[in-house]
Structure formats: structure tokens, C-alpha cells
Chains A and B, each alone.
Chain A
Amino acid sequence: MNRKGVAISVVTQLLVAAQTCCAASPAAGAERSGYEFLSPETRRLQDDDFANPGMFWVDQGRTLWARAEPASGKSCESCHQQSRMAASAIGFPKYSAAVGHLINLEQQINRCRSEHLKASPWAYESQELLAMTSFLSHLAKGRAIEVAIDGEAAESFKRGRQFFYQRRGQLNLSCANCHEQHAGDRLHGETISQGQTNGFPVYRQLWQTLGSTHRMFAWCNEAVRAEPYAAGSREYVDLELYERWRGRGLKVESPAVRR
């Protein structure tokens, strides 16, 4: 092997090592939560469990968690112990062997509902699905995000990364153009964040309500005047995986408050 070959193989090994180590340990530290781009007032609102409006959905989710579905007589609690669910939200999106592709937390909740509770799935952005997602994410609050991007998830990860760097819309901007190259810069009265997803579902002041990761993706796509994809679409689940990986090591803040 010549020198160049050695160098390439060393780089490859480093990359492999970096990927395996990052999946298990906190990231290098370049990742910054959207919290750090907020005004002190908005931070206080998020930190106050009473005043944080997102906590309404968490409370609602806690009620739904224990509510038995008439068709099966079962609730989430029938199978899951709440005390053991703390880490469940940090690993999504993940590959589901049963479905044969990557699914996110929302889709997992709905799978549980149709498979085990014999209940109809909740629509994306419905109050119930937002409530359950925020409840489960809130249980994981303070834990570091950790998603698998190898094996069955590798293809999705590649597509997600491609989506992130793909310019789109009339404004011809990619996610990276703003959230990577200009994070921390000003856009009119706003500070551009890194676009991290560790606080989702977030209470967004602009929406005056809670919103999912996919609603935010769609909003961003529309903001660059691109046709948004459907919530729960493969494109967005792939992007969600890449986004979660990008924010690996960041602590879950759900329900976060964002502008």
C-alpha cells in the first residue's frame, strides 16, 4: 500500500471510530441547542414548568397513557412501565423490523395503538398525538440523544443527509445554508439557530401551539418557498434521523419553547 492508500485507510478508520464513539458518547461540543439562541425571557418561560405552555400537552399525554381503549380494554400502561420508558424517546427514529423501514416516535405510538390497543391511529398534529409524543419525550428530558445510523438505518441516514444539503425552493436554499453556515447570525430580528431537534415537540410562539418536528420541517420548506412533504413521509423521517444524529449528545428539552 502506498502512502496515499495508508492515509485514506487511516481516515476511514477514524471516521468509523468517530461514528461508533459518537453513537455512544456525548458529541464534540459544536452542537448547540436552540435554547442557546433564545432570549432570556423565552428561556425562563421554558425553564418554568408551570408557565411553560407545552406542559399542558405533557399532562394530557399522561392522562392518555393510562386511558384504556374500549376495543381492547388496554392502555399504554398494560404493556409498558412508565418508569422504564425514560430512554425510549431518545432512540427514534429507528429501524423497525416489523414494518421494514425507519419509523419515528409518532409512528411507533400509532403502531402500538393499532396493533396492541386495537384503536384507530391518531392523525399527525392531532392534540392526542402531540400530547403522547411530548409526554414520552418529556420523560427523556435531560438525557442525551442517541440514534443508530448503521445497519438497516444507513440508507435512510444517507438520504436524510442528502436532503439536508440539497438546495430547494424558489429561494434555492438548503437546510445547511442557514442552519450550518449561518447559525448564530441574524435574519431580520431573529438569530438563526442550528436547527436542532432536541426540544421537539416544541411550543412555538409563532404557532401559539405545540408542533411536531415534521411540522417544523414543512414550515422551513415553505419558508424557502419549496413544496413541503407530508408529515410522516419517508423524506421527513429520513431527515429527522439525520437531524437527531446531528444533535447527538444534546440533552432532550421537551417540551421546549421556541419563537
Chain B
Amino acid sequence: MPNSRIKVPESAKRGAVVEIRAMIMHPMENGFNTDTQGTTIPVHIITDFVCRFLGEEIVRVKLEPGLAANPYFAFYLKPKRGGEVEFEWTDQDGSVTRASAMLNVT
């Protein structure tokens, strides 16, 4: 399972804009690289990234081989009430990496 890193503020004021960050350790092989023997390294990427807040999808990204390794996303959320922020990365081989954090709204 790849390492992932997320950043969600512990608490936020109702209606205030908060920054959410997410990053995953992944080589994002684009299919154009070769190993030391000259053999082509096949494409190996994360295909989908989804972030949900209170069960509702707030961000969905479809990733392509052109992206750099260790894809990093930062986006903003304006919460009306507190709840769980869930993150989900899907690898092309079908494996899914999940992470989540609580966001308390005061």
C-alpha cells in the first residue's frame, strides 16, 4: 500500500474557507522510461482521485500518465457543518488507498 499524506485543519469556522491537501507516494510511470537494460517500463499510474465530505463527492480527478510522480492536490472547502473528509486514490491495478480526517466546524 503506498504512503499517503493528507492535511485537513482540525477545526474551522462555519462558512470559512479551509485548504485541504492530499498527496500520495507513487512513481506515476509514463511508459516512456527504460530501465538500465533498455527495457521499457510499462505505464503505472494512479487513475482516479476522489475526495468526499459528509459522504458527498467534492473533488474528482482523473489522472493521466503525463503527471509527475507523487501527485499532490490542494483545494478549498467551505464547510457548513463538521464531518469526515475522506480521500481515495485508485491505482490502475485496482488497488485503492484510503485516508480520512475529521473536520470540526464551530
Contact = CB atoms under 8 A, between A and B. Distances in A.
16 contacts: A50-B7, A50-B21, A51-B21, A51-B72, A53-B25, A53-B69, A53-B70, A55-B5, A56-B5, A56-B25, A56-B70, A59-B3, A208-B27, A208-B28, A208-B70, A209-B27
B43 interface: no
Interface residues of B, number: 12
A216 B39 CA distance: 22
Nearest to B2: A56
A69 to B, nearest CB: 21
A215 to B, nearest CB: 12
Contacts, number: 28
Contact of B69 (A59, A60, A209): A209
B69 A56 contact: no
A208 B5 contact: no
B10 to A, nearest CB: 15
How many interface residues does chain A have, given as a range? Answer: 10 to 19
B50 interface: no
B68 A50 contact: no
Interface in B78-103: none
B27 A60 contact: no
Nearest to B68: A208
Interface in A180-227: 205, 208-209
Contacts of A205: 68
B3 A50 contact: no
B18 interface: no
Contacts of A53: 23, 25, 69-70, 72
A51 B28 CA distance: 16
A258 to B, nearest CB: 14
Contacts of B7: 50
Interface string B37-75: 000000000000000000000000000000011101000
B105 to A, nearest CB: 22
Interface string B8-46: 000000000000010101011000000000000000000
Contacts of B25: 53, 56
A205 B69 CA distance: 9
Contacts of A60: 3
Contacts of B69: 53, 208-209
Given A51-B72, A208-B69, A56 B21 contact: no
A50 B23 contact: yes
